Amino acid sequence: MPRTVYGLIIALLAVSTPASADTLKVMGAGSLRAAMTDLLHRFPVGADTVETPEFGASGLMRQKIENGAAVDVFASADMEQPHQLAAGHPERLVILFARNSLCALARPNLGLNEANFLDRLLDPAVRIATSTPGSDPLGTYSWQVFARADALKPGARATLEAKAKKLVGGGEKTPPLVPGKGAVEGIFLSDQADVMLIYCSAVQAIQREMPSLTSIKLPATLTVEPADGLIILDSKPVALRFVAFVMSEEGQATLRSHGFEPVASVTPDHP
């Protein structure tokens, strides 16, 4: 994180001394649920109170905040939603706090690998599931992958966008397909798709539930690099301390343990 952001946090902490304990309300992307819950559990909250966090598609969470939801810190799976919330509010800090990468989950009969990845996706018999562009950054990232495919095979973008089934990330418009199961697991359990683009940080947990699924990291020629951003929506000391904790060595190590790539760590991601 830039030195100026650290300086701003320290300066705000210096002038923000509450008369009584504060509450901390965090809202975040669904892909950050496990990591943020762990961070909040580890956060030395002191006399302050941490409210139950809320998670969902980043675009939909941003809309809830715009509509008046009382939130102190919002963590998104992209930088776009925090920047929208910061527009017209120069006092609101936007911070890149982690990176992710894109993987594909597939049924084993596809024999998916980096060499045949695009051909398999373009196969008319192969069903593709994605999240919902606009509402959920994962869907937007998936559409960016389709756009990159056009440079390799002209016409690929239109083909992939037409066949992709937007089965998650749309809130009430895309309810879970299998009650009691995760959204991605439900897609495969209900036989709605053969392959789905997801965050690599989510692969391990899903494969624990469905070990038969295979996974690969997207080829370098097609992939995009998801960036996770957060925004501090007010100057509560507890909110500023939590963000400082996220960017601390312990916070960044916690993110790494959940499959994210830290941006403020002295330990190399790939020794």
At residue 173, the pLDDT reads: 58
The helix/strand/coil state of 197 is: strand
At residue 1, the pLDDT reads: 43
57: nearest Cα among 136, 121, 128:
136
Give CA–CA dist 72/232, Å, rounded: 6
Give CA–CA dist 168/105, Å, rounded: 15
pTM of the predicted model as reported, rounded to 2 decimal places: 0.87
At residue 20, the pLDDT reads: 62
CATH architecture, range 102-217: 3-Layer(aba) Sandwich (3.40)
Same CATH topology for 3-99+227-262 and 102-217?
yes
Regions of the chain where pLDDT drops below 50: 1-4, 6, 11, 14-16, 271
Superfamily of domain 3-99+227-262: Periplasmic binding protein-like II (3.40.190.10)
At residue 4, the pLDDT reads: 46
At residue 181, the pLDDT reads: 76
Cα dihedral 36, 265, 136, 168 sign: negative
At residue 3, the pLDDT reads: 44
At residue 21, the pLDDT reads: 77
At residue 172, the pLDDT reads: 60
For 65-70, which contacts have Cβ atoms below 8 Å and span 24 or more sequence positions?
A: 65/27, 65/233, 69/27, 70/25
The one-character DSSP state at 176 is -
The helix/strand/coil state of 20 is: coil
Domain assignments of the chain as residue spans, ordered by start = 3-99+227-262, 102-217
